[in-house]
Structure 1
Amino acid sequence: MASGVKVTDDVISVFNDMKVRKAQANEDEKRKRKKAILFCLSKDLKNIILDEGKEILLGDLGTTVQDPYQHFVKMLPPDDCRYALYDATYETKETKKEDLVFIFWAPDSAPLKSKMIYASSKDAIKRKFEGIKHEWQVNGLEDLKDRHTLAEKLGGSSVVSLEGSPI
């Protein structure tokens, strides 16, 4: 059942920026690229918007952010739902890869109303995010505190490292 929630242009713009990697981007542009970002519902529950300040920029890596995956996990609110895009960098036995992962965060501790409206609005945001290969619904920190779970989603046992750390 659709909720009638709209996806704002800002959200679509961020997705397109993350999806299209400009090979000729200068260092400054690369530093501003997003590694991870959270989206939430507006206060009136009519729009999916950027969750203000809830992002990791590539320029933050190695300075304010040492482990992007752990930093991302800490950004998720413990008792409310969110949508997220995470730009996973990983290695398989054959090659290095980067893939966007769409994550629906619906912790067990979130209010039922929040879980229902986020669940019924998920299709609206997914339709705007064309070309996403990996989708992951997460219902608690135990599901994602260990990077093995994300590695499984990305390529199963062929993944040997995630964000530069061995699996």
Structure 2
Amino acid sequence: MKVRKAQANDEKRKKAVLFCLSEDKKQIIMEEGREILQGEEGDPYLKFVKMLPPDDCRYALYDATYETKETKKEDLVFIFWAPESAPLKSKMIYASSKDAIKKKFTGENPELRSVVFVY
């Protein structure tokens, strides 16, 4: 995702990616077809919210852009999605493996600054 600042010719950079557990629940994998590329049409945040399943848990990385009074900023945000309607077993598995995936992200990408938990 955000390994370096975006360049004019860097249109393949990912804006958002969803991660799920493999079928055997032993690995965290990038969910096939669940990503938003930088520069796609429409509001990337609205697309991202629509990608989140209403009845199961997920992890996500979102490259957020926002403005303060002084400047425009970008932060890579880690999201743990655990809706109330998700099965209890799924919530427990995702919650217990959350630290493992966070360590992978912070080890490889020092720009990961924010952690958001949505229940």
TM-score by length of 1: 0.66
Residue 42 (structure 1) aligns with: 22
Q: How far apart are residue 59 of structure 1 and its match?
A: 3.3
SS of 1:46's equivalent in the other structure is coil
Q: How far apart are residue 22 of structure 1 and its match?
A: 5.0
SS of 1:133's equivalent in the other structure is strand
Q: 1:81 aligns with which of 47, 50, 57?
A: 57
State the Cα deviation string for residues 7-50 of structure 1 (Å, max 9, x = none). xxxxxxxxxxx131155x562xx211100000000000010001
Matches of 1:42 and 1:91, distance apart in 2: 37
SS of 1:80's equivalent in the other structure is coil
Q: Structure 1, unaligned stretches of length 5 or more? A: 1-17, 140-167
Q: Structure 2, unaligned stretches of length 5 or more? A: none
Q: 2:34 aligns with which of 32, 49, 54?
A: 54
State the Cα deviation string for residues 53-92 of structure 1 (Å, max 9, x = none). 01000131xx3xx111111000000000000000001100
Instruction: Work out whether residues 2 and 13 of structure 2, in 8 Å CA contact, stay in contact via their aligned partners in 1.
Output: no
- Answering whether residue 48 of structure 2 is matched by residue 72 of structure 1, we say yes
More helix as a share of residues? 1
- Answering whether residue 2 of structure 2 is matched by residue 19 of structure 1, we say yes
1:1-167 aligned at under 5 Å gives the runs 18-21=1-4, 25=7, 27=9, 30-60=10-40, 63=41, 66-130=42-106, 131=110, 132-139=112-119
Runs of 4 or more consecutive aligned structure 1 residues displaced over 3 Å after TM superposition: none
Matches of 1:34 and 1:19, distance apart in 2: 8
TM-score by length of 2: 0.91
* Number of aligned residues: 115
